Amino acid sequence: MTLSTTNEQILRDSLAQAAVTDVTTIPHDGHLEQDLGIDSLALHELIVILENKLAVAIPDEEVGRLTTIGGIRSLLVRLQPLSSGTDTP
């Protein structure tokens, strides 16, 4: 499962905002701190942005494990609600 195109763009825009850079400079995958300069404070800002824009709750224990763009993408895929087209209790 992958992120939807819309959610991928939200991720890229949010990364650019947290890294204070242009979205066109955001690589598909890379290290948050080494490649983008996103330190722990900027990471928490990024998490808040993503939670608000994507209506997800990212557990604090997961935040400490996030070191790459791919790691964030994988986490968001896991947190996305499954859309099966049917409502089952």
CA–CA dist 42, 18 (Å, integer): 6
17's tokens: 């905002």
Which residue numbers in the chain have pLDDT < 70? 1, 81-89
CA–CA dist 41, 49 (Å, integer): 13
Residue 1 has what pLDDT?
A: 60
CA–CA dist 39, 50 (Å, integer): 16
Residue 3 has what pLDDT?
A: 78
CATH number at residue 70: 1.10.1200.10
Total count of domains within the chain: 1
Question: Is 84 inside any structural domain?
Answer: no
Residue 31 carries which DSSP code? B
Question: Is 50 inside any structural domain?
Answer: yes
Of the candidates 61, 47, 40, which has an alpha carbon nearest to the alpha carbon of residue 17? 47
> HSE on the CB side for 83, CA within 13 Å?
6
Per residue in 24-48, pLDDT tens? 999 989 999 999 999 999 999 999 9
Question: Is 85 inside any structural domain?
Answer: no
Question: Is 64 inside any structural domain?
Answer: yes
Give the range of the structural domain holding residue 19, as residue numbers without chain letter: 5-79
53's tokens: 């824009």
